[in-house]
A and B are shown apart, each in its own frame.
Chain A
Protein backbone atom coordinates (compact mmCIF):
# COMPACT_ATOMS: atom_id res chain seq x y z
CA UNK A 1 0.00 0.00 0.00
CA UNK A 2 1.29 3.41 -0.81
CA UNK A 3 0.49 6.81 0.53
CA UNK A 4 -2.04 8.71 -1.48
CA UNK A 5 -0.91 10.48 -4.59
CA UNK A 6 -2.59 13.33 -2.79
CA UNK A 7 -3.12 16.92 -3.62
CA UNK A 8 0.12 17.41 -1.70
CA UNK A 9 2.07 15.98 -4.57
CA UNK A 10 0.56 18.48 -6.91
CA UNK A 11 1.90 21.47 -5.02
CA UNK A 12 1.61 24.46 -7.28
CA UNK A 13 -0.87 22.73 -9.54
CA UNK A 14 -3.77 24.67 -8.13
CA UNK A 15 -4.23 28.07 -9.58
CA UNK A 16 -5.66 30.22 -6.78
CA UNK A 17 -7.67 32.20 -9.30
CA UNK A 18 -9.31 29.07 -10.59
CA UNK A 19 -10.23 27.90 -7.11
CA UNK A 20 -12.02 31.07 -6.13
CA UNK A 21 -15.68 31.55 -6.84
CA UNK A 22 -15.85 34.28 -9.50
CA UNK A 23 -18.76 35.84 -7.62
CA UNK A 24 -16.56 36.29 -4.55
CA UNK A 25 -14.93 39.55 -3.64
CA UNK A 26 -11.16 39.10 -3.40
CA UNK A 27 -9.38 38.21 -0.18
CA UNK A 28 -8.30 41.32 1.70
CA UNK A 29 -4.95 39.60 2.31
CA UNK A 30 -2.13 38.99 -0.16
CA UNK A 31 -0.25 35.81 -0.93
CA UNK A 32 1.36 33.93 1.96
CA UNK A 33 5.03 34.84 2.50
CA UNK A 34 5.94 32.08 4.97
CA UNK A 35 3.58 29.44 6.41
CA UNK A 36 5.28 29.63 9.84
CA UNK A 37 4.93 33.39 10.31
CA UNK A 38 2.27 34.54 7.84
CA UNK A 39 -0.04 31.53 7.38
CA UNK A 40 -3.50 31.87 5.92
CA UNK A 41 -5.71 28.77 6.16
CA UNK A 42 -8.14 30.46 3.73
CA UNK A 43 -5.51 31.01 1.06
CA UNK A 44 -6.51 28.78 -1.88
CA UNK A 45 -3.12 27.03 -1.77
CA UNK A 46 -3.57 25.83 1.84
CA UNK A 47 -6.07 22.98 1.53
CA UNK A 48 -4.57 21.34 -1.58
CA UNK A 49 -1.17 21.28 0.15
CA UNK A 50 -2.24 20.90 3.77
CA UNK A 51 -0.39 17.67 4.55
CA UNK A 52 2.90 19.05 3.28
CA UNK A 53 2.39 22.36 5.10
CA UNK A 54 1.66 20.60 8.41
CA UNK A 55 4.66 18.25 8.03
CA UNK A 56 6.90 21.25 7.36
CA UNK A 57 5.50 23.22 10.30
CA UNK A 58 5.84 20.25 12.68
CA UNK A 59 9.56 20.24 11.88
CA UNK A 60 10.10 23.99 12.06
CA UNK A 61 7.79 25.20 14.81
CA UNK A 62 4.87 23.33 16.27
CA UNK A 63 2.75 26.50 16.46
CA UNK A 64 2.67 28.81 13.43
CA UNK A 65 1.47 32.39 13.69
CA UNK A 66 -0.05 35.01 11.42
CA UNK A 67 -0.89 38.67 11.88
CA UNK A 68 -3.87 38.18 9.57
CA UNK A 69 -7.35 38.07 11.15
CA UNK A 70 -6.05 40.29 14.01
CA UNK A 71 -3.67 37.50 14.97
CA UNK A 72 -4.05 33.72 14.77
CA UNK A 73 -2.08 30.61 15.81
CA UNK A 74 -1.90 27.21 14.15
CA UNK A 75 -0.60 24.22 16.14
CA UNK A 76 0.13 21.09 14.11
CA UNK A 77 0.81 18.27 16.60
CA UNK A 78 -1.72 15.88 18.12
CA UNK A 79 -0.44 16.75 21.59
CA UNK A 80 -1.12 20.49 21.24
CA UNK A 81 -4.40 20.08 19.37
CA UNK A 82 -5.80 17.81 22.08
CA UNK A 83 -4.44 20.06 24.84
CA UNK A 84 -6.39 22.99 23.37
CA UNK A 85 -9.53 20.92 22.77
CA UNK A 86 -9.63 19.89 26.44
CA UNK A 87 -8.82 23.34 27.84
CA UNK A 88 -11.99 25.42 28.07
CA UNK A 89 -10.39 27.84 30.51
CA UNK A 90 -7.73 29.38 28.28
CA UNK A 91 -9.76 29.02 25.07
CA UNK A 92 -13.33 30.08 24.41
CA UNK A 93 -15.58 28.68 21.69
CA UNK A 94 -17.65 31.86 21.36
CA UNK A 95 -16.58 31.90 17.74
CA UNK A 96 -15.27 28.83 15.94
CA UNK A 97 -14.75 30.20 12.43
CA UNK A 98 -11.69 32.41 11.95
CA UNK A 99 -12.66 35.46 9.91
CA UNK A 100 -12.14 39.15 9.43
CA UNK A 101 -15.34 39.94 11.36
CA UNK A 102 -15.36 41.56 14.74
CA UNK A 103 -16.83 38.88 16.97
CA UNK A 104 -19.81 40.33 18.79
CA UNK A 105 -21.07 37.09 20.31
CA UNK A 106 -20.48 36.73 24.02
CA UNK A 107 -19.39 33.74 26.09
CA UNK A 108 -20.72 31.45 27.41
CA UNK A 109 -23.60 31.14 24.90
CA UNK A 110 -22.06 32.39 21.64
CA UNK A 111 -23.88 32.80 18.34
CA UNK A 112 -24.60 29.14 17.54
CA UNK A 113 -25.07 27.05 20.69
CA UNK A 114 -23.79 24.55 21.65
CA UNK A 115 -20.78 24.70 19.30
CA UNK A 116 -20.14 28.32 20.29
CA UNK A 117 -20.84 27.79 24.00
CA UNK A 118 -18.51 27.40 26.95
CA UNK A 119 -19.11 25.60 30.24
CA UNK A 120 -21.28 25.63 32.21
CA UNK A 121 -23.96 26.77 29.72
CA UNK A 122 -22.57 24.46 27.04
CA UNK A 123 -23.65 21.36 28.94
CA UNK A 124 -27.32 22.36 28.91
CA UNK A 125 -27.45 23.50 25.28
CA UNK A 126 -25.71 20.31 24.16
CA UNK A 127 -27.71 17.91 26.33
CA UNK A 128 -30.83 19.17 24.60
CA UNK A 129 -29.55 18.16 21.19
CA UNK A 130 -27.77 14.91 22.04
CA UNK A 131 -30.85 12.61 22.00
CA UNK A 132 -31.97 13.41 18.42
CA UNK A 133 -28.44 12.63 17.19
CA UNK A 134 -27.77 9.57 19.38
CA UNK A 135 -27.05 6.30 17.53
CA UNK A 136 -30.44 4.70 18.03
CA UNK A 137 -32.25 7.77 16.71
CA UNK A 138 -29.94 8.04 13.69
CA UNK A 139 -29.87 4.34 12.69
CA UNK A 140 -33.47 4.45 11.34
CA UNK A 141 -32.35 7.04 8.75
CA UNK A 142 -30.17 4.49 6.95
CA UNK A 143 -32.82 3.35 4.47
CA UNK A 144 -33.69 6.96 3.58
CA UNK A 145 -30.03 7.86 3.08
CA UNK A 146 -29.54 4.81 0.86
CA UNK A 147 -32.63 5.64 -1.20
CA UNK A 148 -31.36 9.21 -1.64
CA UNK A 149 -27.93 7.97 -2.77
CA UNK A 150 -29.53 5.49 -5.16
CA UNK A 151 -31.72 8.14 -6.75
CA UNK A 152 -28.69 10.40 -7.27
CA UNK A 153 -26.82 7.46 -8.79
CA UNK A 154 -29.79 6.69 -11.06
CA UNK A 155 -29.62 10.25 -12.36
CA UNK A 156 -25.87 10.08 -12.86
CA UNK A 157 -26.12 6.74 -14.65
CA UNK A 158 -28.89 8.02 -16.90
CA UNK A 159 -26.70 10.99 -17.82
CA UNK A 160 -23.69 8.86 -18.69
CA UNK A 161 -24.47 9.01 -22.37
CA UNK A 162 -21.31 10.47 -23.84
CA UNK A 163 -18.39 8.18 -24.45
CA UNK A 164 -16.11 9.88 -21.94
CA UNK A 165 -18.07 8.52 -18.97
CA UNK A 166 -17.02 11.45 -16.79
CA UNK A 167 -19.05 12.48 -13.76
CA UNK A 168 -18.31 14.99 -11.03
CA UNK A 169 -18.50 12.95 -7.83
CA UNK A 170 -18.51 16.15 -5.75
CA UNK A 171 -21.10 18.33 -7.46
CA UNK A 172 -23.32 15.60 -8.93
CA UNK A 173 -23.25 13.32 -5.91
CA UNK A 174 -21.50 14.04 -2.58
CA UNK A 175 -22.80 17.55 -1.97
CA UNK A 176 -26.47 16.63 -2.36
CA UNK A 177 -26.52 13.95 0.32
CA UNK A 178 -26.05 15.94 3.58
CA UNK A 179 -28.08 18.90 2.27
CA UNK A 180 -31.12 16.76 1.58
CA UNK A 181 -30.87 14.86 4.84
CA UNK A 182 -30.55 17.93 7.07
CA UNK A 183 -33.29 19.80 5.18
CA UNK A 184 -35.62 16.92 5.97
CA UNK A 185 -34.54 16.72 9.61
CA UNK A 186 -35.08 20.48 10.06
CA UNK A 187 -38.28 20.53 8.02
CA UNK A 188 -36.91 23.10 5.55
CA UNK A 189 -37.97 23.21 1.88
CA UNK A 190 -35.71 20.79 -0.01
CA UNK A 191 -35.91 23.05 -3.07
CA UNK A 192 -33.87 25.61 -1.10
CA UNK A 193 -30.78 23.39 -1.35
CA UNK A 194 -28.95 25.94 -3.52
CA UNK A 195 -29.68 28.62 -0.95
CA UNK A 196 -28.20 26.44 1.82
CA UNK A 197 -25.09 25.86 -0.27
CA UNK A 198 -24.76 29.62 -0.67
CA UNK A 199 -25.00 30.12 3.10
CA UNK A 200 -22.41 27.45 3.77
CA UNK A 201 -20.08 29.10 1.30
CA UNK A 202 -20.65 32.55 2.84
CA UNK A 203 -20.05 31.42 6.42
CA UNK A 204 -17.22 28.93 5.97
CA UNK A 205 -15.39 30.01 2.82
CA UNK A 206 -16.03 33.76 2.67
CA UNK A 207 -13.91 34.41 5.73
CA UNK A 208 -11.33 36.84 4.40
CA UNK A 209 -13.63 39.29 2.65
CA UNK A 210 -14.45 42.82 3.74
CA UNK A 211 -16.02 42.59 7.23
CA UNK A 212 -19.05 44.66 6.17
CA UNK A 213 -19.72 42.28 3.30
CA UNK A 214 -19.49 39.34 5.69
CA UNK A 215 -21.94 40.97 8.11
CA UNK A 216 -24.39 41.54 5.24
CA UNK A 217 -24.22 37.84 4.34
CA UNK A 218 -24.99 36.85 7.93
CA UNK A 219 -27.97 39.19 7.92
CA UNK A 220 -29.33 37.36 4.86
CA UNK A 221 -28.86 34.02 6.61
CA UNK A 222 -30.64 35.26 9.77
CA UNK A 223 -33.52 36.53 7.66
CA UNK A 224 -33.92 33.18 5.92
CA UNK A 225 -33.94 31.27 9.21
CA UNK A 226 -36.45 33.72 10.72
CA UNK A 227 -38.86 32.98 7.86
CA UNK A 228 -38.52 29.24 8.52
CA UNK A 229 -39.04 29.77 12.25
CA UNK A 230 -42.14 31.82 11.60
CA UNK A 231 -43.54 29.04 9.43
CA UNK A 232 -42.80 26.43 12.11
CA UNK A 233 -44.39 28.56 14.82
CA UNK A 234 -47.54 28.78 12.71
CA UNK A 235 -47.45 25.12 11.68
CA UNK A 236 -45.62 23.01 14.29
CA UNK A 237 -44.56 19.58 13.04
CA UNK A 238 -42.39 16.61 13.91
CA UNK A 239 -38.94 17.95 13.05
CA UNK A 240 -35.87 19.44 14.73
CA UNK A 241 -37.01 23.03 14.20
CA UNK A 242 -40.30 22.51 16.04
CA UNK A 243 -38.40 20.49 18.66
CA UNK A 244 -36.11 23.46 19.37
CA UNK A 245 -39.00 25.91 19.42
CA UNK A 246 -40.64 23.82 22.12
CA UNK A 247 -37.47 23.02 24.08
CA UNK A 248 -36.67 24.48 27.48
CA UNK A 249 -33.57 25.03 29.58
CA UNK A 250 -34.19 25.54 33.31
CA UNK A 251 -37.93 25.39 32.51
CA UNK A 252 -37.70 28.40 30.24
CA UNK A 253 -38.12 28.38 26.46
CA UNK A 254 -34.96 29.07 24.51
CA UNK A 255 -34.42 32.65 23.35
CA UNK A 256 -35.12 33.40 19.72
CA UNK A 257 -31.38 33.97 19.20
CA UNK A 258 -30.56 30.60 20.76
CA UNK A 259 -33.04 28.74 18.53
CA UNK A 260 -31.86 30.58 15.43
CA UNK A 261 -28.20 30.01 16.29
CA UNK A 262 -28.72 26.29 16.90
CA UNK A 263 -30.64 25.96 13.64
CA UNK A 264 -27.83 27.73 11.78
CA UNK A 265 -25.40 25.30 13.39
CA UNK A 266 -27.47 22.24 12.46
CA UNK A 267 -28.05 23.50 8.92
CA UNK A 268 -24.47 24.48 8.14
CA UNK A 269 -22.25 22.22 10.24
CA UNK A 270 -23.23 19.00 8.55
CA UNK A 271 -23.17 20.07 4.92
CA UNK A 272 -19.64 21.05 3.85
CA UNK A 273 -18.13 18.67 6.36
CA UNK A 274 -19.94 15.51 5.26
CA UNK A 275 -19.76 16.47 1.61
CA UNK A 276 -15.99 16.78 2.09
CA UNK A 277 -15.62 13.41 3.79
CA UNK A 278 -17.61 11.62 1.08
CA UNK A 279 -15.70 13.43 -1.67
CA UNK A 280 -12.28 12.77 -0.15
CA UNK A 281 -13.05 9.08 0.28
CA UNK A 282 -14.14 8.79 -3.37
CA UNK A 283 -11.11 10.84 -4.43
CA UNK A 284 -8.86 8.37 -2.60
CA UNK A 285 -10.51 5.34 -4.19
CA UNK A 286 -10.37 6.96 -7.65
CA UNK A 287 -6.61 7.33 -7.25
CA UNK A 288 -5.96 3.97 -5.55
CA UNK A 289 -7.35 1.09 -7.62
CA UNK A 290 -5.58 -1.34 -5.27
CA UNK A 291 -7.69 -0.19 -2.31
CA UNK A 292 -10.84 -0.17 -4.45
CA UNK A 293 -10.19 -3.72 -5.63
CA UNK A 294 -9.44 -4.83 -2.09
CA UNK A 295 -12.77 -3.48 -0.82
CA UNK A 296 -14.57 -5.42 -3.56
CA UNK A 297 -12.75 -8.61 -2.57
CA UNK A 298 -12.82 -8.09 1.20
CA UNK A 299 -16.02 -6.19 2.04
CA UNK A 300 -15.42 -6.88 5.74
CA UNK A 301 -12.79 -4.10 5.53
CA UNK A 302 -15.40 -1.37 4.95
CA UNK A 303 -15.71 -0.29 8.59
CA UNK A 304 -11.95 0.15 9.09
CA UNK A 305 -11.60 1.72 5.63
CA UNK A 306 -14.20 4.40 6.37
CA UNK A 307 -12.53 5.20 9.70
CA UNK A 308 -9.17 5.44 7.95
CA UNK A 309 -10.59 7.84 5.34
CA UNK A 310 -12.01 9.90 8.21
CA UNK A 311 -8.61 9.95 9.88
CA UNK A 312 -6.50 10.78 6.87
CA UNK A 313 -8.94 13.15 5.16
CA UNK A 314 -10.60 14.58 8.26
CA UNK A 315 -12.42 17.63 6.91
CA UNK A 316 -12.88 19.79 9.98
CA UNK A 317 -10.52 22.28 11.60
CA UNK A 318 -12.13 24.08 14.52
CA UNK A 319 -11.10 27.37 16.07
CA UNK A 320 -11.08 29.02 19.46
CA UNK A 321 -10.43 32.52 20.76
CA UNK A 322 -7.78 32.98 23.42
CA UNK A 323 -9.68 33.69 26.68
CA UNK A 324 -6.69 34.92 28.67
CA UNK A 325 -3.04 35.68 27.95
CA UNK A 326 -0.89 32.58 28.36
CA UNK A 327 1.90 30.58 26.75
CA UNK A 328 1.39 27.59 24.50
CA UNK A 329 4.56 25.61 23.73
CA UNK A 330 6.55 28.75 24.51
CA UNK A 331 4.43 30.99 22.27
CA UNK A 332 2.83 34.11 23.82
CA UNK A 333 -0.92 33.87 23.13
CA UNK A 334 -2.84 37.12 23.68
CA UNK A 335 -6.49 37.46 24.65
CA UNK A 336 -8.84 37.55 21.64
CA UNK A 337 -6.30 36.10 19.21
CA UNK A 338 -7.53 33.12 17.21
CA UNK A 339 -6.26 29.59 17.66
CA UNK A 340 -7.01 27.08 14.93
CA UNK A 341 -7.58 23.53 16.17
CA UNK A 342 -6.63 21.41 13.17
CA UNK A 343 -7.88 17.92 14.04
CA UNK A 344 -6.88 16.84 10.50
CA UNK A 345 -3.24 17.75 11.29
CA UNK A 346 -3.41 15.89 14.62
CA UNK A 347 -4.64 12.83 12.71
CA UNK A 348 -1.51 12.64 10.58
CA UNK A 349 1.03 13.43 13.30
CA UNK A 350 3.63 10.63 13.26
CA UNK A 351 4.02 11.02 17.03
CA UNK A 352 0.42 9.86 17.47
CA UNK A 353 -0.10 7.30 14.68
CA UNK A 354 2.02 4.52 13.22
CA UNK A 355 2.63 5.05 9.52
CA UNK A 356 0.64 8.27 9.91
CA UNK A 357 1.22 9.40 6.33
CA UNK A 358 -0.15 6.20 4.80
CA UNK A 359 -3.76 5.26 4.18
CA UNK A 360 -4.17 1.71 5.57
CA UNK A 361 -7.73 0.58 4.99
CA UNK A 362 -7.25 -2.31 7.42
CA UNK A 363 -5.85 -0.15 10.24
CA UNK A 364 -6.95 -1.77 13.51
CA UNK A 365 -5.94 0.85 16.06
CA UNK A 366 -7.40 4.20 15.05
CA UNK A 367 -8.02 6.78 17.74
CA UNK A 368 -8.48 9.53 15.16
CA UNK A 369 -9.96 12.87 16.13
CA UNK A 370 -11.91 13.60 12.95
CA UNK A 371 -14.96 14.50 15.04
CA UNK A 372 -12.97 16.47 17.59
CA UNK A 373 -12.01 15.69 21.17
CA UNK A 374 -13.55 16.68 24.47
CA UNK A 375 -16.87 18.35 25.22
CA UNK A 376 -17.41 19.66 21.68
CA UNK A 377 -17.25 16.24 19.96
CA UNK A 378 -19.23 16.65 16.75
CA UNK A 379 -22.89 16.41 17.69
CA UNK A 380 -23.72 14.94 14.29
CA UNK A 381 -20.95 12.34 14.16
CA UNK A 382 -23.36 9.39 14.11
CA UNK A 383 -25.28 10.92 11.21
CA UNK A 384 -22.09 11.88 9.38
CA UNK A 385 -20.66 8.37 9.71
CA UNK A 386 -23.90 6.91 8.40
CA UNK A 387 -23.97 9.26 5.41
CA UNK A 388 -20.29 8.74 4.54
CA UNK A 389 -20.50 4.94 4.81
CA UNK A 390 -23.69 4.58 2.81
CA UNK A 391 -22.74 7.19 0.19
CA UNK A 392 -19.31 5.69 -0.52
CA UNK A 393 -20.56 2.09 -0.50
CA UNK A 394 -23.48 2.83 -2.83
CA UNK A 395 -21.25 4.72 -5.25
CA UNK A 396 -18.75 1.86 -5.35
CA UNK A 397 -21.51 -0.73 -5.70
CA UNK A 398 -22.99 1.15 -8.66
CA UNK A 399 -19.68 2.02 -10.30
CA UNK A 400 -17.22 -0.73 -9.35
CA UNK A 401 -14.35 0.92 -11.25
CA UNK A 402 -13.64 4.60 -11.61
CA UNK A 403 -10.53 6.74 -11.90
CA UNK A 404 -9.46 10.37 -11.79
CA UNK A 405 -9.69 11.97 -15.20
CA UNK A 406 -7.14 14.66 -14.51
CA UNK A 407 -5.73 15.26 -11.03
CA UNK A 408 -5.30 18.94 -11.85
CA UNK A 409 -9.02 19.28 -12.53
CA UNK A 410 -9.79 18.50 -8.89
CA UNK A 411 -10.59 21.65 -6.92
CA UNK A 412 -10.35 21.88 -3.14
CA UNK A 413 -12.43 23.94 -0.75
CA UNK A 414 -11.12 27.08 0.90
CA UNK A 415 -10.99 27.56 4.67
CA UNK A 416 -11.47 25.39 7.73
CA UNK A 417 -13.43 22.63 5.98
CA UNK A 418 -11.23 20.61 3.64
CA UNK A 419 -12.48 18.49 0.79
CA UNK A 420 -12.82 18.30 -2.99
CA UNK A 421 -15.37 20.72 -4.46
CA UNK A 422 -14.90 19.53 -8.02
CA UNK A 423 -14.06 15.87 -8.51
CA UNK A 424 -14.29 14.67 -12.09
CA UNK A 425 -13.94 10.88 -12.29
CA UNK A 426 -14.23 8.55 -15.26
CA UNK A 427 -16.60 5.65 -14.80
CA UNK A 428 -14.92 2.61 -16.34
CA UNK A 429 -16.98 0.06 -18.18
CA UNK A 430 -17.58 -3.19 -16.37
CA UNK A 431 -18.28 -6.51 -18.01
CA UNK A 432 -22.07 -6.69 -18.23
CA UNK A 433 -23.61 -9.53 -16.27
CA UNK A 434 -24.71 -12.34 -18.57
CA UNK A 435 -28.45 -12.73 -18.78
CA UNK A 436 -29.69 -16.15 -17.82
Chain B
Protein backbone atom coordinates (compact mmCIF):
# COMPACT_ATOMS: atom_id res chain seq x y z
CA UNK B 1 0.00 0.00 0.00
CA UNK B 2 1.14 3.53 -0.79
CA UNK B 3 -0.36 6.86 0.35
CA UNK B 4 -0.71 9.94 -1.83
CA UNK B 5 -1.60 13.57 -1.09
CA UNK B 6 -3.14 15.69 -3.84
CA UNK B 7 -1.47 19.01 -3.08
CA UNK B 8 -4.04 20.86 -5.19
CA UNK B 9 -6.84 19.59 -2.97
CA UNK B 10 -5.06 19.75 0.41
CA UNK B 11 -6.13 22.85 2.35
CA UNK B 12 -4.19 22.12 5.53
CA UNK B 13 -6.87 20.61 7.76
CA UNK B 14 -4.04 18.42 9.13
CA UNK B 15 -6.27 15.47 9.91
CA UNK B 16 -3.82 13.03 8.28
CA UNK B 17 -0.88 14.43 10.24
CA UNK B 18 -2.86 14.07 13.47
CA UNK B 19 -4.08 10.54 12.74
CA UNK B 20 -1.03 9.04 11.04
CA UNK B 21 2.10 11.06 11.81
CA UNK B 22 4.17 8.03 10.76
CA UNK B 23 2.95 8.52 7.19
CA UNK B 24 2.33 12.27 6.84
CA UNK B 25 4.23 15.39 7.75
CA UNK B 26 3.30 19.07 7.33
CA UNK B 27 5.33 21.86 5.78
CA UNK B 28 5.76 25.38 7.17
CA UNK B 29 2.42 26.41 5.61
CA UNK B 30 0.58 23.54 7.24
CA UNK B 31 0.13 21.60 4.01
CA UNK B 32 0.37 17.84 4.16
CA UNK B 33 3.28 15.96 2.62
CA UNK B 34 3.85 12.22 2.38
CA UNK B 35 6.85 10.98 4.36
CA UNK B 36 9.47 9.28 2.19
CA UNK B 37 8.12 7.27 -0.74
CA UNK B 38 4.70 6.85 0.89
CA UNK B 39 5.00 3.07 1.19
CA UNK B 40 2.86 1.90 4.11
CA UNK B 41 4.14 -0.80 6.43
CA UNK B 42 1.46 -3.49 6.98
CA UNK B 43 1.07 -2.42 10.61
CA UNK B 44 0.17 1.10 9.50
CA UNK B 45 -2.42 0.22 6.85
CA UNK B 46 -5.34 0.91 9.17
CA UNK B 47 -3.92 4.34 9.99
CA UNK B 48 -3.54 5.08 6.28
CA UNK B 49 -7.21 4.18 5.71
CA UNK B 50 -8.19 6.35 8.68
CA UNK B 51 -6.35 9.32 7.15
CA UNK B 52 -8.22 8.80 3.87
CA UNK B 53 -11.57 8.57 5.67
CA UNK B 54 -11.04 11.80 7.61
CA UNK B 55 -9.82 14.20 4.96
CA UNK B 56 -12.60 16.74 4.38
CA UNK B 57 -11.12 17.69 1.01
CA UNK B 58 -10.75 14.09 -0.29
CA UNK B 59 -7.07 14.91 -0.87
CA UNK B 60 -5.66 11.60 0.35
CA UNK B 61 -5.74 8.31 -1.52
CA UNK B 62 -4.11 4.91 -1.16
CA UNK B 63 -2.98 2.66 -3.98
CA UNK B 64 -1.77 -0.95 -4.12
CA UNK B 65 1.38 -0.26 -6.10
CA UNK B 66 3.89 -0.65 -3.31
Q: CB within 8 Å of B: which residues of A?
A: 127, 130-131, 133-136, 303, 307, 364-369, 371, 373-375, 377, 381-382
**Cβ–Cβ < 8 Å partners of B53 in chain A:** 364-367
Q: A133-B30, A134-B29 are in contact. Are A369 and B56 (CB under 8 A)?
A: yes
Query: Which residue in A133, A135, A303, A368 is a CB contact (below 8 Å) of B17?
Result: A135
Q: CB within 8 Å of A: which residues of B?
A: 11-14, 17-19, 26-30, 50, 53-58
Q: A303-B18, A373-B11, A377-B12 are in contact. Are A382 and B56 (CB under 8 A)?
A: no
A135 touches B14 (CB 8 A): yes
A134 touches B30 (CB 8 A): yes
A373 touches B30 (CB 8 A): no
B54 touches A365 (CB 8 A): yes
In the assembly, what is the distance between CA of A374 and CA of B57, in Å? Answer: 7
In the assembly, what is the distance between CA of A94 and CA of B59, in Å? Answer: 27
Q: How far is the CB of A362 from chain B (nearest CB, A)?
A: 12
A375 touches B30 (CB 8 A): no
Q: A130-B12, A135-B17, A381-B13 are in contact. Are A367 and B26 (CB under 8 A)?
A: no
In the assembly, what is the distance between CA of A307 and CA of B51, in Å? Answer: 13
B54 touches A134 (CB 8 A): no
In the assembly, what is the distance between CA of A262 and CA of B59, in Å? Answer: 28
**Cβ–Cβ < 8 Å partners of B26 in chain A:** 134-136
**Cβ–Cβ < 8 Å partners of A130 in chain B:** 12, 28-30
**Cβ–Cβ < 8 Å partners of B12 in chain A:** 130, 134, 377, 381
Q: A371-B13, A373-B57 are in contact. List 9 more A-B contacts (CB 8 A).
A: A130-B12, A131-B28, A136-B26, A367-B58, A368-B56, A371-B56, A374-B11, A377-B12, A381-B12
Q: How far is the CB of B51 from chain A (nearest CB, A)?
A: 11
A382 touches B14 (CB 8 A): yes
Q: 26 A-B pairs, CB-CB below 8 angstroms?
A: A127-B29, A130-B29, A134-B29, A134-B30, A135-B14, A135-B17, A135-B30, A136-B28, A303-B18, A307-B54, A364-B50, A365-B53, A365-B54, A366-B53, A367-B53, A367-B54, A367-B56, A368-B56, A371-B13, A373-B11, A373-B57, A374-B57, A375-B11, A377-B11, A382-B14, A382-B30
**Cβ–Cβ < 8 Å partners of B56 in chain A:** 367-369, 371, 373
Closest residue on chain B to residue A127 by CB atoms: B29
**Cβ–Cβ < 8 Å partners of B55 in chain A:** 367
In the assembly, what is the distance between CA of A375 and CA of B13, in Å? Answer: 11
**Cβ–Cβ < 8 Å partners of B30 in chain A:** 130-131, 133-135, 382
Closest residue on chain A to residue B11 by CB atoms: A377
Closest residue on chain A to residue B30 by CB atoms: A134
Q: How far is the CB of A133 from chain B (nearest CB, A)?
A: 7
Please name the 3 residue pairs, one residue from A and one from B, whose CB atoms are nearest each other, closest first: A134-B30, A365-B53, A377-B11
**Cβ–Cβ < 8 Å partners of B50 in chain A:** 364
**Cβ–Cβ < 8 Å partners of B54 in chain A:** 307, 365-367
- Looking at B13, B19, B27, B54, which has the most chain A CB atoms within 10 Å of its CB? B13
**Cβ–Cβ < 8 Å partners of B19 in chain A:** 303
Q: A365-B53, A366-B54 are in contact. Are A381 and B29 (CB under 8 A)?
A: no
**Cβ–Cβ < 8 Å partners of A131 in chain B:** 28-30
In the assembly, what is the distance between CA of A291 and CA of B12, in Å? Answer: 30
**Cβ–Cβ < 8 Å partners of B28 in chain A:** 130-131, 134, 136
B57 touches A381 (CB 8 A): no
Q: A127-B29, A364-B50, A364-B53 are in contact. Are A377 and B17 (CB under 8 A)?
A: no
In the assembly, what is the distance between CA of A136 and CA of B28, in Å? Answer: 8
Q: How far is the CB of A361 from chain B (nearest CB, A)?
A: 15
In the assembly, what is the distance between CA of A364 and CA of B26, in Å? Answer: 22
In the assembly, what is the distance between CA of A130 and CA of B12, in Å? Answer: 9
Q: How far is the CB of A159 from chain B (nearest CB, A)?
A: 35
In the assembly, what is the distance between CA of A211 and CA of B12, in Å? Answer: 37
Q: How far is the CB of A425 from chain B (nearest CB, A)?
A: 29
Q: How far is the CB of A118 from chain B (nearest CB, A)?
A: 16
Closest residue on chain B to residue A126 by CB atoms: B29
- Looking at A135, A136, A373, A374, which has the most chain B CB atoms within 10 Å of its CB? A135
A377 touches B29 (CB 8 A): no
In the assembly, what is the distance between CA of A367 and CA of B11, in Å? Answer: 13
**Cβ–Cβ < 8 Å partners of A364 in chain B:** 50, 53
In the assembly, what is the distance between CA of A405 and CA of B10, in Å? Answer: 43
Closest residue on chain A to residue B28 by CB atoms: A131
Closest residue on chain B to residue A367 by CB atoms: B56
In the assembly, what is the distance between CA of A19 and CA of B11, in Å? Answer: 36
**Cβ–Cβ < 8 Å partners of A365 in chain B:** 53-54
Q: How far is the CB of B64 from chain A (nearest CB, A)?
A: 20
